[in-house]
Structure 1
Amino acid sequence: MSARGAIAALAVSALLAVSACSGEQGAADDTGSSTPAAKITVQVRADPEEAAVYRSLVTAYQKASGAQVDLVAVGRQDHLTRLSTAFASGDAPDAFLINYREYAPFVQRGAVAPVGPLLDQQGVDRAAYYEEPLRAFSYGGALQCMPQNISSLVVYWNRALFKQAGVAPPKTGWTWAEFVATARALTTAKTKGVGIDPSITRMAPFIWSSGGSIVDNDEAPTRTTLHEPGARAALQAVVDLIGTGTTPTKKQLAAQGLDEQFMTGKVAMFLSSRVEVPALREQRGLDFDVAALPVLGKPASVLHSDAYCVSSSSEHKDAAAKFIAYAVGQQGQTITALGGRTVPSLKAVATSPAFLSPARPPASSQVFLDAIPQLRHTPVTPSWPEVEDVIGNQLQRAFEDGVPLDQVLAEIQKQADPLLRGR
């Protein structure tokens, strides 16, 4: 059986097992309706392996409810563009999945119907969910979208390459110096020790770990603070790591993404969230696991969370809310957890074998849950996607082109601070 077929089989098994229980945790028990439910469209950001997980979710929901759902799976790079185009043309999906770093502009434009009251009508108990993603998706005093996951940033590592190099597996609480030494020990003529994207979501945990900050005020930022001592020290540590030759070159990155380099054994470690798991599971012969981030000062990690939003223009808001209640409920989150895509936001599923079973890689999924007390999220503000692009573009110059760090940080201030101040 193919991996995608296995995902579908697991989803059906999960549906039957959970349906045998007395009721949902977090969502209303009754998914049926005395009248035929309206057909809704749901757009998700998903590469092929992720899309298979969401198709299993939709199939299970349709069987349980009798409702119809048109799933639109869009690649990671095109999701936001397609959403914006759909809203501009008056053809927006009834519901859509979006990262917390990206939803505020849609709220500001009035494109989102706050999901809180809609899910209250469906009997969703928010107390059953982790608090951090709920905070991240609250804006203007209301819960705007309902989070499906609570991933953190972790280190993916290749067991075979560690064994070949005679390097011990990563341990919780390992220091930055130990991380650098491990990367160097894993680097050979054919393999780089580690890959790190030049993005603020990759840098944030190290900045916070070293006592720095990204902006002057997380709730209402007016300027970036990456040039200040704590943040600058963390960024310099990454620049120094790159200088050791343990990370892929600009040419290598242009030829193949970090995830693909990891899959093919060209990179022994890389940093990412839970989103990588479905694709990594499909890579034949790849034996991988996850480890906690190294620590510069105190433990820290950054939230990676997506949520379901309801379009304000939808004529079927109740039907959309009913689907969301199922997707984030016991049955829905069990299916997506088995598929590997999510760290469930529903506590009961996150701590269940559906997520934690070592029989399906990564064996150390508990690492994601252990990071929850240290999770923080980047600012939620309409200008943040633009600010994030500025930071990423500039850090890329420092990491890949050798531009002096202070020059890059000054350019970030010049370009990003006016965006935060709305100028």
Structure 2
Amino acid sequence: MRRRRWGSAIAGAAVVAAGLVACGDPGPSGGDEAAAGGGAAATAPITFQVKAEPEEAAVYRSLVTAYQGSGGGDVEMIPVGRKDHLTRLSTAFASGDAPDVFLINYREYAPFVQRGAVEPIGPMLTENGMNRSDYYEEPLKAFTYEGDLQCMPQNISSLVVYWNTKLFAAAGVEAPKPGWTWDQFASAAASLTKGAVKGVGIDPSITRMAPLIWSRGGTVVDDTAKPTRTTLHEPGARAALQEVVDLIASGSTPSKEQMAAQGLEEQFMTGKIAMFMSSRVEVPALREQKGLEFDVAGLPSLGQPASVLHSDAYCIAAGSPNKEAAAKFIAYAVGQQGQTVTALGGRTVPSLRSVATSPAFLSPDRAPASSQVFLDAIPHLQHTPVTPVWPEVEDIMGTQLQRAFEDRVPLDEVISEIRSQADPLLAKGS
């Protein structure tokens, strides 16, 4: 299991944040000072639910501490494990006990908007001094639904390849270079597969497969804005998936039993796999793993550069009695000081341009040294559909792709099953 040691790095982030507050460092367009103002509404206690494992939760505790230390009101943080977050959130809304603020991925928020559970945040953040042009546009677009900015994104992460620098050196494999191809990636995985070590771990989720499909010239659905059917059976998408199936069949990935026994993150931490693909979310835990030396590289290309947006945003519950205080906290969290705290903790690729290009994020003396890779991917980012039925469609795709990857079920059979289960949902949802 993952080892839980996260004190030193997060404590350092909190110290820096305290220094920012003491120096009165202003946020973009003055937003931080407005967010932390001392009026009665600013001191109203709010609840804040965040999907976070312990290492990530420590980053957000530092954020809350910095906010409260800057004169902000009381915040009660509710950390929930990744697997339980949506269930806990849905239950809280159903029982009338929803958190004032919650953090959610763009792939998952549309059902809450459809149910009227989210208060559109755009006007409230404008009142608190937020200037939209200070932020990357890609995540803002992903969190704009029915014409309104529903939630405020904290990050603009992308999918990257995490690689173990010690294992690469021991195997005599050259470090990944910008623009590397899928063939080079597969060759490296084969060379790194020695003894108990596998070259790469492959997650069967569509968020991992989508950028490979796009790189090969394929699509995941017929229309990202208004999807009515899946398109994994079409030539570009199928060819990309076949490349993954072939890599798995080569023996360069963990077995089904190894996957069931331990997650890819833990296998990477303990040196059982040399590479895996994920977003920035892994960094806090990886930094705290004793003896692990790692870096990140861009995704291998199957034709044209492509990556997939990974972004979470702060949302305000429509029924919250503390909307003004919630908006002030969020304005702080996405402002200069708040995003500096979460960037220093390693959790985010800041959505605020000035922090994303600052030493708080890019500093090469903290792993991963090649954080610029995340920013280099921005021009090639695409996102999966934002529609209320998408979480269910995504689950169907993941379950079926797992059959192809781990159980060796023929790819065409799996794709056919995806079409039969997912296409009616998309057609109905559209």
Instruction: Assess same fold via TM > 0.5.
Output: yes
Kept in 2, the 8 Å contact 1:15–1:335? The answer is: no
Where does residue 156 of structure 1 map in the other structure?
162
Where does residue 14 of structure 1 map in the other structure?
17
CA drift of 1:189 comes to: 1.6
Where does residue 356 of structure 1 map in the other structure?
362
Deviates more, 1:25-34 or 1:238-247: 25-34
Where does residue 203 of structure 2 map in the other structure?
197
Where does residue 339 of structure 1 map in the other structure?
345
Kept in 1, the 8 Å contact 2:21–2:66? The answer is: no
Cα shift readout 1:118-171 (whole Å, capped 9, x = no counterpart): 111111111100000000000000000000000000000001000100001000
Aligned counterparts of 1:71 and 1:352: Cα–Cα separation in 2: 27
CA drift of 1:422 comes to: 1.7
Query: Tell me, what secondary structure is at the counterpart of 1:193?
Result: coil
Q: 1:283 to 1:319 in 2, by over 3 A?
A: same
Where does residue 214 of structure 1 map in the other structure?
220
Q: If the length of structure 2 is used for normalisation, what is the TM-score?
A: 0.96
1:265 and 2:271 correspond: yes
Aligned pair partner of 2:403 in 397, 402, 410: 397
User: Map of 1:6-405 to 2, 5 A cutoff?
Assistant: 6-17=9-20, 20=23, 23-25=26-28, 27-30=31-34, 31-35=36-40, 37-405=43-411
CA drift of 1:33 comes to: 2.2
Aligned counterparts of 2:311 and 2:257: Cα–Cα separation in 1: 31
Aligned counterparts of 1:101 and 1:19: Cα–Cα separation in 2: 37
Kept in 1, the 8 Å contact 2:89–2:98? The answer is: yes
Amino acid at match of 2:17: A
Q: 1:70 to 1:22 in 2, by over 3 A?
A: closer
Where does residue 420 of structure 2 map in the other structure?
414
Kept in 2, the 8 Å contact 1:19–1:331? The answer is: no
Runs of 5+ in structure 2 lacking a partner? Answer: none
Aligned counterparts of 1:272 and 1:165: Cα–Cα separation in 2: 23
CA drift of 1:65 comes to: 1.9
Kept in 2, the 8 Å contact 1:38–1:319? The answer is: yes
Aligned counterparts of 1:57 and 1:81: Cα–Cα separation in 2: 25
Aligned counterparts of 1:96 and 1:64: Cα–Cα separation in 2: 21
Query: Tell me, what secondary structure is at the counterpart of 1:65?
Result: coil
Amino acid at match of 1:75: G
Query: Tell me, what secondary structure is at the counterpart of 1:29?
Result: helix
Query: Tell me, what secondary structure is at the counterpart of 1:98?
Result: strand
Amino acid at match of 2:33: D
Kept in 2, the 8 Å contact 1:15–1:331? The answer is: no
Deviates more, 1:175-184 or 1:60-69: 60-69
Runs of 5+ in structure 1 lacking a partner? Answer: none
Query: Tell me, what secondary structure is at the counterpart of 2:277?
Result: strand
Q: 1:18 to 1:28 in 2, by over 3 A?
A: closer
Query: Tell me, what secondary structure is at the counterpart of 1:70?
Result: strand
Query: Tell me, what secondary structure is at the counterpart of 2:292?
Result: coil
Query: Tell me, what secondary structure is at the counterpart of 1:303?
Result: strand
Deviates more, 1:286-295 or 1:29-38: 29-38
CA drift of 1:196 comes to: 1.1
Query: Tell me, what secondary structure is at the counterpart of 2:350?
Result: coil
CA drift of 1:22 comes to: 5.2
CA drift of 1:25 comes to: 1.3
Amino acid at match of 1:16: G
CA drift of 1:28 comes to: 4.4
Aligned counterparts of 1:60 and 1:91: Cα–Cα separation in 2: 26
CA drift of 1:32 comes to: 1.5
